[in-house]
Structure 1
Amino acid sequence: MKWFTSIFIYLALISAAAIAFSTDFINGRIIGGQEAQRGQFPFQAALRINVTDRPTFSTCGGSLIAPDYTLTAAHCVLIKDVMNIEVHLGAHEILNIEEEGRLRVVVQPENFFAHKDYNSRSIVNDIALLKFDQKVTFTDRIQPIALPSWSDVNVDFEGKIVVASGWGRYSDDVQGISPVLRYAETPVESQRICMHYYQNYEIVTDSNICIYTGVGKGTCNGDSGGPLTYTDENGRKIIVGLTSFGSDIGCVEPGWPSVFTRITSFLDWIEENSDIKINP
């Protein structure tokens, strides 16, 4: 990759697709990862964003955090003329609409709650909630992911192994989405190093968490809104990030971190905009 390639910041709402799920998944990719086992990520959601008077739609990732709430990125819901968002839970084979154990929940715009201070230029506060009209029933394929506790607020997770998951393209050589859910494990990058790479844009802040891509693993163009998870010392999985943005000079150009919304920076916002209570 030529280093003089002009660098710009992508959000993942790039792709438009045909009426079925047989389309690009936001041009998102889980790079250098592997296929998940069925039910390995029961909190994983696929979002289909339907727009009024268009035969096409966009897609994002999300995470089930309660029986009636999915967490995603603000830029996934703040779309002009959005009609509704379909939240697909329990999916593994993304193209298989009739997949056993899968549930589709349709969310109307009045139940989209994007952060009021989200800024599409600086990409700050890139977080949103989708509220369901009815609570879903949990199964072995549909389970919520735990949120961080208040005691985690000052934890930076630097060096900890985290997992990004989604259905995005997993190689520049592959066209279209992955037909199955994939994931990649990689360490959390130093905040100082992440800020250094993006210093010309002044968009990485303490409310972001970044992952190291020097091992050839990461996200590229998104799986926007999808989860970044960490397994604590008690074996409990918690969501620590939402896929937000990265550099567009290549999928895992060594060094350039993928950037996520840091969940611990928004625990108060989650409590204020839902009936979810954060653990001490």
Structure 2
Amino acid sequence: MQEALFLYLCIRISTTFGSSSDLRIYGGRDAQLGEFPYVVVLGHLHEDNNFELTCSCSALSPTWSLTAAHCMDSNEAKGVIAYGDIIPGQKFNVSKVLRVFPHPGYKSAGNAEEYETGNCYDIGLLRTNKIKIAQYGLLSAVDHTTITGHEVIVAGFGVTNGTKDFSGAIAANKTLQVFKGMISSCLEEDFLLCSRLCVSPTCKQPSLICGGDSGGPVIHASGIVGVNGYHNIECEYFTDDHSLAQGSSVVQAVSPVIDWLTNTINSHS
């Protein structure tokens, strides 16, 4: 009965940076109102109603959301999901996170190098109080090894590149950020062994995920095929001189864990 006791809150996003039309992720754009209502935000709501972003995620149903397992390493994972068409300065709803389910194969990394080379299951589920939105995300069961070269959309509320301080999208007064990419083969052997995907920019347009985009969806025509993991270079140092391989984003594929995702939802609902 814990869910019944939770009150949905309407709060205003606190913006500490001025609005600017130049703020974008690399090669990306603002999502249109209602375009991806199921892309939501994991974070912490402070006593003064300021919202602090931890990661992006996807609402799969009223009570289940998908994100990266490393987003659950923080105590803030036991926070709230903010949802709706989240536009700074407007009201949005929050729903309490009741329980986290990192994939059982995930091992919390002690440092960035260990995470990048040794963690094969950076994906997990959040069980929450009800999230009421117009559309929920659809998981794709398409074999991730068959979609190399396919176009995808990458979404997240992470760092933007229009400010010296590299503010998160919400703090920088921006809505959801999206960009187009192409599924490519990950060159490193560890990526192949870990059932990861890489997303490279299209048409030599520099684009990659940044901090805060972790956990957000990689959207294929068949549905969500992956979860944003990390970028293999720091966004602050990204320039047009980097090669496409250097500028790729690394993604945990959904298809190898689709049975675990489905069974977890069914057994804990």
Q: Confirm or deny a common fold (TM above 0.5).
A: yes
Counterpart Cα distance in 1 of 2:194 and 2:120: 10
Q: Given the alignment, which residue of 240, 252, 261 partners 2:252?
A: 261
Q: Which moved more, 1:246-255 or 1:265-274?
A: 246-255
Per the alignment, residue 273 of structure 1 pairs with 264
Alpha-carbon offset, residue 206 of structure 1 = 4.7
Q: 1:113 to 1:160 in 2, by over 3 A?
A: same
Counterpart Cα distance in 2 of 1:43 and 1:146: 9
Counterpart Cα distance in 2 of 1:267 and 1:89: 24
Mapping of residues 31-46 of structure 1, within 5 Å = 31-46=26-41
Which amino acid in 1 is paired with 2:72? V
Q: Give the TM-score, by structure 2 length.
A: 0.74
Q: Given the alignment, which residue of 80, 104, 118 partners 1:116?
A: 104
Q: 1:23 to 1:219 in 2, by over 3 A?
A: farther
Q: Given the alignment, which residue of 118, 131, 146 partners 1:156?
A: 146
Alpha-carbon offset, residue 247 of structure 1 = 1.5
Which amino acid in 2 is paired with 1:224? S
Return 5+ residue gaps in structure 1 as ranges.
1-19, 233-237
Say what the alpha-carbon RMSD is for the aligned residues.
Answer: 2.9
Per the alignment, residue 230 of structure 2 pairs with 245
Alpha-carbon offset, residue 83 of structure 1 = 7.2
Q: Given the alignment, which residue of 79, 87, 90 partners 2:81?
A: 87
Counterpart Cα distance in 1 of 2:16 and 2:243: 28
Q: Given the alignment, which residue of 104, 107, 128 partners 2:94?
A: 104
SS at match of 1:273: helix
Counterpart Cα distance in 2 of 1:117 and 1:49: 26
Q: Given the alignment, which residue of 199, 203, 208 partners 1:211?
A: 199
Shift >4 Å, 4+ stretches: 55-58
Counterpart Cα distance in 2 of 1:154 and 1:164: 16
Q: Given the alignment, which residue of 137, 140, 164 partners 1:145?
A: 137
Q: 1:104 to 1:258 in 2, by over 3 A?
A: same
Counterpart Cα distance in 2 of 1:163 and 1:45: 15
Counterpart Cα distance in 2 of 1:224 and 1:158: 21
Which amino acid in 2 is paired with 1:168? G
Residues matched between the structures, number:
227
Which amino acid in 1 is paired with 2:229? S
**Percent of pairs identical after alignment?**
24
Q: 1:56 to 1:184 in 2, by over 3 A?
A: closer
Counterpart Cα distance in 2 of 1:66 and 1:32: 30
Which amino acid in 2 is paired with 1:254? S
SS at match of 1:147: coil
Per the alignment, residue 6 of structure 1 pairs with none
SS at match of 1:265: helix
Which amino acid in 1 is paired with 2:81? V
SS at match of 2:70: helix
Per the alignment, residue 176 of structure 2 pairs with 181
SS at match of 2:71: helix
Q: Given the alignment, which residue of 67, 74, 78 partners 1:72?
A: 67
**Contact 1:228–1:243 at 8 Å: present in 2 too?**
yes
Which amino acid in 1 is paired with 2:84? G
Q: 1:57 to 1:89 in 2, by over 3 A?
A: closer
**Contact 2:151–2:180 at 8 Å: present in 1 too?**
yes
Alpha-carbon offset, residue 182 of structure 1 = 1.7
Q: Which has the higher helix share?
A: 2
Which amino acid in 2 is paired with 1:129? L
Return 5+ residue gaps in structure 2 as ranges.
1-12, 18-23
Alpha-carbon offset, residue 23 of structure 1 = 6.8
Asked if residue 167 in structure 1 is aligned to residue 154 in structure 2, the reply is no
